[in-house]
Amino acid sequence: MTVKELTSFSEFQATINSGKAVLIDFYADWCGPCKSISPHFHQHSDTNASTEGIEFYKVDVDKLPDVAQECKIRAMPTFQLYKNGERVADMLGAKPTELTALVQNGLALA
């Protein structure tokens, strides 16, 4: 599965309420750590492409400030894991090992 870019607040709401485990990368184009962790996020998406239960999304906080505010994003990158509309886990920073653990958590929810 490829990483999908969310483009509206309503799309964000529909995505997190889909019933699937959803992992979202909140980023900004100007954020250096966001750029360094992005390949790891995409790799997890590619590695878990055959998994039916987890989906990978990105939100540009500069393009969707309403989503960033709703999710209480204070720094980037921030990763949030959702299931049935509820945030179940999150991670702040460009930490590949912690990102792997967050993905595993998402797979366990699937």
| Residue tagged active-site, from 16, 34, 76, 94 | 34
Q: How far apart are CA 84 and CA 14, in angstroms?
A: 10
Where residue 47 falls (left for φ over 0; alpha for ψ -120 to 50; beta otherwise) is alpha
Pairing state between β 21-27 and 54-60: parallel
- Our answer to whether residue 71 is catalytic in this structure is no
| Residue tagged active-site, from 16, 22, 31, 71 | 31
Handedness of CA 94, 98, 104, 108 (dihedral sign): negative
Catalytic positions, please?
31, 34
